[in-house]
Chain A
């Protein structure tokens, strides 16, 4: 697996891509909508606290809740499968489709299947996959990964989408009207929906006490697909469970407002039983989650309900773009999930942050995201996986800063040096001075100033 280099990829996005501002504009728009939707709820903080505690409770009793979910879903007539890895999931789904000679699959947005590269797996074996969420369909047609978990084509301008639709579904050239383009996609997918034999979705929440699969969408694509097709398959990560139906009331009040500033998503669906003469399957997927659960400092990241609020508020995400993280879930939450899955591939991501803490402030389930980012840096530095260019200055810094005399002496030296040779000083730290300059040195240190002024009264 390729080791992700975030700064390099972000640099590419900012300097080489055609529309480096698109992601920023879209994300800040969502961030503002979120703020307006949140401030009108008096009990917002109490809801966040409750949601966080429900998730902590569920994760710390996950074994029992997984068994309870399975038993209740089975009692509803649902067939349960278990997948340890992404490959297991892909195999299970492929076999279900292949045994029934299903020609194609309609799929609603599922970050889990992105994580496991299911589309590629199925297509290589002759089964066409139609992503039906509009944003997901756009990135599928463009042969790109999503750049955001809620708005997958966030990085694309309407001109780019118009061009893409003209090439792939023969829409009018240069017609950039969003309504025209959206309805063209609706029409294009309609026959696929109406004749689908199999539909697949992700899962937002699995309810243990009832075996419920809960899915939220704004477009209605998941429901149209699932309810038209004879075979319905839902793929769920083990961390999606919550204990009771009534717990959903807390999460549904938080999720839409945090994600897009909507009071609730348009469709909040509860699937219990297969339709008459239909089949309903749920695949419960681990793929690294149970290992993550055992990491003392990091397991609470599994509380995440995938609203994307931390991305929208993150200055690094907005500037560098979602693709620069090289993983299905980008942004601050992605940067603390990925090292738990594969620390050698994603060791760079916890450094892709200013640690401003805004991500933790907006998180609806109160994950200490920036705290974990910092903690991951500790782990990565201690395991010796950091480049010398970063670790050596840190070592020198820690020595100098721990001895008063050394600190004063180097401060004095640095002020003099910067005063007499500013260009050389800037050139000596080329990475730091990229896009910024060293400051003008002050005449004296604070200590010198303080001693002088204290004496003067």
Chain B
């Protein structure tokens, strides 16, 4: 008997009497989402920047790109990664979660899936209207199943594996900013 059949047969024989799926309860939602998101993000070492409109974001991105080590994937999505790691990477976010400051990035929109994990500073740009409160809302709104690879990112890459001392930039970026516009 092959491994697959053997495992499935054994599971079928041994699995206990079926119990129902409980469904996911709906919980109370607070209103001050932006404030909560900002506090949650700063608690985990990230930074929230608010912009009055998308044009002002683009203006700041332009200034940022004056440095050759910085890359933006907001409009120029065909930009290839180079041999040299960038300093700053700017990508688009799809949804932000106020409770835990996680931001969802769909890497299908990027030329290379590794982009959000490279360099030293990651900036994720998204509109304020895409802010929700908790993970239940986020999953309900996203179409994750159709993304080849998608990731919630909450703050900079971190580790405390050496004597519980928090160090940012373990393997991914050591800085993370969320730029939100109205």
Contacts and interface: CB of A to CB of B under 8 A. Distances in A.
Interface of A: 25-26, 29-30, 42-43, 46, 49-50, 53-54, 56-57, 59-63, 66-67, 81-84, 88, 132-135, 138, 151-153, 156-158, 161, 178-179, 181-183, 186, 189, 193, 209-210, 212, 218-221, 223-224, 227-228, 238, 243, 245-250, 252-253, 256, 260, 262-275, 284, 286, 290-291, 293-294, 296, 299
The 4 closest A-B pairs by CB, nearest first: A220-B172, A294-B14, A263-B100, A178-B165
A219 B114 CA distance: 14
B19 A158 contact: no
B135 A252 contact: yes
Interface in B24-70: 24-25, 27-28, 40, 43-44
Contacts of A63: 8, 11-12, 15
A186 B171 contact: yes
Given A60-B16, A246-B139, A253-B135, A266 B3 contact: no
Interface residues of B, number: 71
Contacts of B102: 264, 268
Contacts of A274: 148
A243 B150 contact: no
Given A181-B162, A245-B144, A57 B20 contact: yes
Interface of B: 2-4, 6-8, 10-22, 24-25, 27-28, 40, 43-44, 97, 99-102, 107, 112-114, 116-118, 134-136, 138-140, 144-165, 167, 169-172
15 contacts: A53-B20, A88-B3, A153-B161, A156-B163, A157-B163, A182-B162, A186-B170, A223-B172, A224-B117, A250-B24, A250-B135, A253-B99, A263-B44, A293-B15, A296-B16
Contacts of A59: 15-16
A182 B159 contact: yes
Contacts of B151: 223, 267-270
Contact of A219 (B136, B146, B170): B170
Given A249-B136, A290-B11, A293-B11, A84 B6 contact: yes
A260 B99 CA distance: 16
A249 B138 CA distance: 8
A186 B11 CA distance: 42
Contact of B170 (A66, A67, A220, A238): A220
B10 to A, nearest CB: 4
B149 A249 contact: no
B16 A224 contact: no
A266 B156 contact: yes
A248 B139 contact: yes
Contact of B165 (A158, A228, A290): A158
B19 A60 contact: yes
Contacts of B157: 218-220, 266-267
A179 B162 CA distance: 9
Contact of B16 (A26, A265, A275, A293): A293
B16 A263 contact: no
Nearest to B13: A294
A270 B161 CA distance: 24
Contacts of B144: 210, 212, 245, 270, 272
B145 A272 contact: yes
B170 to A, nearest CB: 4
Indicate the member of A133, A182, A275 with the most B CB atoms within 10 Å: A182
Contacts of A267: 151-154, 157, 172
B164 A246 contact: no
Nearest to B174: A183
A247 to B, nearest CB: 7
A151 B158 CA distance: 13
A238 B10 CA distance: 12
Contacts of B147: 270, 272
Central interface residue in B40, B148, B150, by most chain A CB within 10 Å: B148
Query: Which of B4, B25, B27, B134 has its CB near the most chain A CB atoms (within 10 A)?
Result: B4
Nearest to A229: B114
